[in-house]
Amino acid sequence: MRRAINWEIEEERRYFFRQLDTLVKNWTQQLPNLRDIFRPDEIDWLLKESVWRHSSSFIYFAVRTGYKDEPTLDQDGKPLVRRATAVHLLCIASSFDAEIFKIYDRLDVNYIDESGLTHYHVACKQGLQDVVRGFLELSQDPNGIQPGTGDSPLHFAAKHGFNGVVELLLRRGANPNSANAQGLTPLRIIYKESTAKMLFELSNERYRPVLVDARDNEGWTPLHVALAEGCKKMAELLLRLGADPNLANAEGETSLHVICQLSRDVDNVAESFIKVCDDLQRTVHIDARDRLGRTPLQRAVSCLWPDVVRLLLDRRADLSSFVFPTESHFDQRFKPCPTYTFYKFNYILNFELVSSAMAVIECLEEKGYALELGNVLTIIKLFAKHGAFDTSVNLELDNKKFTSKAKEIRIIPNLYLYDLIQLKPKEAANLLTYTDYYKFTCSQTCKGLYNPHHVACVMHPCKKLPKEFFRRWTLYPFWEQILHYRLPILCCDMIIEWLSNKDLYHICLAATTQSDESRKKIQYQVQQN
């Protein structure tokens, strides 16, 4: 089979590899001497191809045959270590196979590739404790960095949470404060609290204290990163080890700014962060501003996190200087994606965007923030941009399956979805707050609705609830600018009940073109109403 291919032609080599891989996978005959069949460079290629293709059959076969790599020697009989091997490819291909070190078992020959990556570095990155111990016993430097990246053995092991290797390196004198080319210390790239504890407990005396607030090139601290990843336990550990909760990165973002930009579990992370700081009697700067002048409250509002907005307001975040986010600020979390299917697009829109936006507005108003017409228009434009007014919901209230499901879904203790659907917007607003509906959309009951028909029945009240809010802001512009006071205000109110959200959007849009005096009048009338 080997003689039938031209090794110089890559396509033939790869075809041969696939055949060989199948052959050796089920090999039951006497094991051959690979050197009798292949040249060393050919075996080297086969090993690299195995790693690159995440296929371990040939690697295990080579180990079974007893094949060992033999280094090329220089004129003085010393091994040439400048050579890229299959071991180096383990990092590039994101592969893992400890068996390969049984082939490259000469730990006194620490091969190094063009980037400066060595077999020793790879062993640390792969968490191969026995191999790393062997390298260290042969006097490898526990702080030997990879040129270019500046990563130390401790960086490689700590990043992937290999505690056994981390302990070995620390006991041999690895520096826990060593920063790589990006300014990252090992603590900055750790995500497991058990690994972080090791840095503090086992580091050599000469490297203490471990720099808990070490900044990278962008000013990020380990605490910033832990919070950005939503690692509550890691963040708590860092705070208890002395991390400063108010340090800002190069963009002026504090820990609270970072939390408010999370894409998931943000309320739990924020609550945990505040609680730990309270326990430690650390003051958190609630109104800290980043380089663009934005506070955590503005970030939480622009990302539409109602629970975080409420938490910050309960902590007395300053509403007097609060500036309502612009349209572009909301794009950070909610970006229209044309690749979504129509069904999935509307699922995300109605369950996350509408309910969270209305709940955020409710939080602000409860704490005394006076919305302006421009703020309302921003929210309505956000809905329009994401197609909130384009989706028709056909509800078959006589459909037995639909009725049965709607009667099972409880929104609040005394209100089921079936009953809510049949209410008028005003009636629904009197029974259900925006926060109530937001909590429902976050519940496991709601998230478990994957049938398009069931999702549609939940979408309906999600479109109905904002209508009462829009009505408040469009009633007076409609009365003044469209009807010019020709009908009583109560008649206008009755007409508006029959208008769609899209119609109300256009009325609100027209109202913003009026003079400041007219807009203030509208705002006053809404507040009085």
Q: Do 189 and 155 form a contact (C-beta atoms < 8 A)?
A: yes
Tell me which DSSP letter residue 479 carries. Answer: I
Note the pLDDT of residue 154: 97
The Cα–Cα gap between 253 and 151 comes to: 26
pLDDT in tens, 122-156: 999 999 999 999 999 999 999 999 998 999 999 99
Note the pLDDT of residue 342: 43
Least confident range of 28-37, 47-56, 212-221, 518-527:
518-527
DSSP secondary structure string, 350-408? IIIIIHHHHHHHHHHHHTT----HHHHHHHHHHHHHTTTTT------TT-HHHHHHHHH
Query: Residue 416 forms beta bridges with which residues?
Result: 410
Q: Which residue has the higher pLDDT, 397 or 178?
A: 178
- pLDDT at residue 343 is higher than 50: no
Note the pLDDT of residue 339: 42
Average confidence score pLDDT of the chain: 85
- 331 burial via Cβ count (<10 Å: 0-12, 13-18, 19+): middle
- pLDDT at residue 514 is higher than 80: no
H or E element at residue 410:
strand 410-412
Over residues 30-57, the mean pLDDT reads: 92
- 163 burial via Cβ count (<10 Å: 0-12, 13-18, 19+): middle
Over residues 80-98, the mean pLDDT reads: 86
pLDDT band at 512 (very low <50, low <70, confident <90, very high): low
Q: Do 420 and 390 form a contact (C-beta atoms < 8 A)?
A: no
- pLDDT at residue 62 is higher than 60: yes
Note the pLDDT of residue 341: 43
The 3-state DSSP class for residue 276 equals helix
Q: What is the pTM of this model?
A: 0.84
H or E element at residue 437:
helix 434-441
- pLDDT at residue 89 is higher than 60: yes
Over residues 203-227, the mean pLDDT reads: 93
The one-letter amino acid at 133:
R
Note the pLDDT of residue 417: 80
pLDDT band at 416 (very low <50, low <70, confident <90, very high): confident
Q: Which residue has the higher pLDDT, 512 or 180?
A: 180
- pLDDT at residue 456 is higher than 70: no
Note the pLDDT of residue 498: 79
Note the pLDDT of residue 460: 67
- pLDDT at residue 450 is higher than 70: no
pLDDT in tens, 419-434: 887 887 778 878 888 8
